[in-house]
Amino acid sequence: MINKTLLSTLLYVVFSCSCAFAEVKLYLSDQFQSYSPEQAFSLFEKMESEDPDKNILIYVHGRGRDVKDEWESLTQLEKNYNVRILMFDWPSWTSTFRRPVKNAEDSSVELFKIFNAVKKFKQDYGKDKTFTLLCHSMGNVVFSHFIKRYYVSGYHENDGQPLIENFIANAPDVAMRGHAEWLSKVDFVKRRFVLMNNRDFVLLASYILDIKERNPYFYKLGLGFQNLPLSDKKIQKMMDPDTTYIDFSYSLKNEHRYFQNKSEAIQDVLRQLINGEAFYPLMVRGKIKKKNKINFVYDKKDEKVVSTDYGTPF
């Protein structure tokens, strides 16, 4: 039987040689300068040299016209959550009325280079450095396609340990149908989280663009499960049992970029997740209610909700 590492490497070489992939660039927050995916390891070294005590966040952005809009938000993200960020920039715009799905899929193979760089960094610098992967909106199309098309189980483990501490699917602009299948294959991540808001205007608009697939199971994962005309039992069957689902619908309005919201409760949740920690509901300045294995987050000011004691981390 062919070795898994060899098989995954051969797949990467074959796809790289035979296909024309979308151009991917990397950015740091200190200056608006682009880097190639091949430079990921040296960028991790740079961040370690400059901020050895800070964890590293790999950020795959969503659909957008201008990368400068994303880059300018990195500084605020780093300040809010005390991390260093490497942004994975892919060609995320086609037109107002078309989602750049093919660009996202074509870009996904480049994640090999990023994860290989994380593996080499942990091997060279020790295992104590914490890495988190945050995929926002259509950034989850990039990641899910990588898992479904290119990834071979076991390839990115690090001496038998997960390579990345947390994977965060923020407002995932992917179909709810079948999401548990690809999520369950992400074996190089210690913990998996899906963040949702059923009033997310961008995801509602995206669903309209996909109106030809009007079906409850093609409903956007980031919109959550509350509006689905399904029984609790059917909802739970759709979920990945090893993923923690967190719903911000009671803390947000129509926001899409949840990590930029100033709610204390939301920031408390994200501070844990972005820094590669387990999710401790008792450390959130708000109220957490759990139903159908979904954690609903309420702002502290909402006194109508009775807090439930969830001391065990997820």
Q: 312 vs 185, which has greater pLDDT?
A: 185
Spell out the domain ranges in the chain.
4-299
E-only strand ranges, 131-237: 131-136, 164-170, 189-196
Contact 189, 241 (CB under 8 A): no
User: Each residue of 273-312: pLDDT tens digit?
Assistant: 999 999 999 999 999 999 989 999 998 755 443 333 333 4
User: Each residue of 58-67: pLDDT tens digit?
Assistant: 999 999 878 8
Take residue 39 and report the two structure tokens written for it: 């430079």
pLDDT of residue 18: 42
Architecture of domain 4-299: 3-Layer(aba) Sandwich (3.40)
Range of weakest confidence among 90-104, 199-213, 281-295: 199-213
β partners of residue 237: none
β partners of residue 131: 56
For the chain, the average pLDDT equals: 87
The rounded distance, in Å, linking the Cα atoms of 265 and 218 is 30
pLDDT of residue 305: 39
